[in-house]
Amino acid sequence: MRKEYGNKVAVRKLSLMVPLGSIFGFLGPNGAGKSTSIKMLLGLVKPTSGEAFVLGERAGDVAVRRKIGFLPEHFRFYDWLTPAELLRLHGRLCGMAAAKLRERIPVMLDLVGLTPHRDKRVHDFSKGMMQRIGLAQALIHEPEIIFLDEPTSGLDPMGRRLVRDVIRAQRERGATVFLNSHLLSEVEVTCDNVAFLKDGEVVAAKDLHALGEAEVHVVVRARQLSPQAIAGLAPWTTAASVEGEQLTMTARSSDVLPHVVRHLAASGADIYSLIPARASLEDLFVRIMGEDRGL
């Protein structure tokens, strides 16, 4: 698919397959074309050329649209409504029966932590509360696919954790989640697959469960680390250095980590923790996008 706005190319050449039942992370710098891509997949924006299929039907198909949940990046709700009224409206628009909605609305309000605010009008909601009701409206009709465009941007740490749990629960019930997010640490622990979008084009994709294919940086906290034990790591590592109780190393792949742990333990080291160095997805992102890229 391609989308031009005047002579500005928003999405150059989007070609994407998202496995059903998985959590898919769609990553890219500001202005890369992520939100435009989602809107094309929903049928809200008409591609300049190309087409997309969602659940086997052309993007925008009304019957399929009812099976889709969407939390937009910039949302505006009818803000004179209470959260329950807003959920009822969205549920009805998706064709839900009144009885089903009566049962489901309190469950959803509870899920997103808004039960104490049920009598407020959405107008008086804080940014994070808006995002929570936005998430609830995206899920009210138990959609098969959920598009979330930066669902955690306004949320506190508890809210972020809640979104993470909610996303995983959606996968558990068999739904597919398409997630736009700049919070790579969240993406890293939530998504099954990611694609990197740069200047309107997918430039890389990664299966986050694939083990053993690339070098991993690991930080080990241990006592009784002998210089011989460190020297003995050579078969499995390309670099290893110790500072106090912290051993930092680059393992050839995650497959070798069990050997490393056995080797260290056998040498008499007491291991307290072994943590893959944080932000590896961030490193990858920066490498793919190029560090000097401005808008």
Ligand X SMILES: Nc1ncnc2c1ncn2[C@@H]1O[C@H](COP(=O)(O)OP(=O)(O)OP(=O)(O)O)[C@@H](O)[C@H]1O
* Residues in touch with Mg ion (CB under 5 A): 34-35, 73
CB proximity list for 273: less than 8 A, separation 6 or greater? 219, 220, 221
Pick one of ligand X, Mg ion, none as the site partner of residue 192 (Cβ within 5 to 8 A by kind). Answer: none
Considering only residues 1, 18, 27, 33, which one is a binding residue for ligand X as defined by CB under 6 A? 33
CB of 255 to Mg ion, least distance (A): 37
Using CB under 6 A as the binding rule, the residues of this chain from 64 to 103 that contact ligand X are 73
CB of 292 to ligand X, least distance (A): 18
Q: What is the dihedral of CA 247, 253, 258, 263, to 10 degrees?
A: -50
If one asks whether residue 30 binds ligand X (CB under 6 A), the answer comes out as yes
User: Which CB atom, from 2 or from 67, has the smaller least distance to Mg ion?
Assistant: 2
Question: Do the beta carbons of residue 94 and residue 174 sit within 8 Å?
Answer: no
Pick one of Mg ion, ligand X, none as the site partner of residue 198 (Cβ within 5 to 8 A by kind). Answer: none
| 8 three-class SS | strand
Pick one of ligand X, Mg ion, none as the site partner of residue 8 (Cβ within 5 to 8 A by kind). Answer: ligand X
What is the per-residue DSSP string for 12-59? SB------TTSEEEEE--TTSSHHHHHHHHHTSS--SB---EETTEET
Instruction: From 23-31, 61-69, 135-143, 217-225, give the range in contact with ligand X by CB under 6 A.
Output: 23-31
If one asks whether residue 203 binds ligand X (CB under 6 A), the answer comes out as no
Other C-beta atoms lying within 10 Å of the C-beta of residue 58: 11
Considering only residues 23, 25, 36, 166, which one is a binding residue for ligand X as defined by CB under 6 A? 36
User: Which CB atom, from 36 or from 82, has the smaller least distance to ligand X?
Assistant: 36
What is the per-residue DSSP string for 225-261? --HHHHHTTTTTEEEEEEETTEEEEEES-GGGHHHHH
User: Which CB atom, from 82 or from 181, has the smaller least distance to ligand X?
Assistant: 181
Q: Are strands 176-180 and 23-27 parallel, antiparallel or unpaired?
A: parallel
d(CA 101, CA 97): 6
Considering only residues 13, 15, 19, 31, which one is a binding residue for ligand X as defined by CB under 6 A? 31
Considering only residues 1, 24, 34, 129, which one is a binding residue for ligand X as defined by CB under 6 A? 34
If one asks whether residue 32 binds ligand X (CB under 6 A), the answer comes out as yes
User: Which CB atom, from 138 or from 247, has the smaller least distance to ligand X?
Assistant: 138
If one asks whether residue 5 binds ligand X (CB under 6 A), the answer comes out as yes
Using CB under 6 A as the binding rule, the residues of this chain from 110 to 169 that contact ligand X are none
Other C-beta atoms lying within 10 Å of the C-beta of residue 239: 11
DSSP structural state of residue 116 = G
d(CA 244, CA 26): 40
Binding site for ligand X (CB under 6 A): 5, 8, 10, 28, 30-36, 73
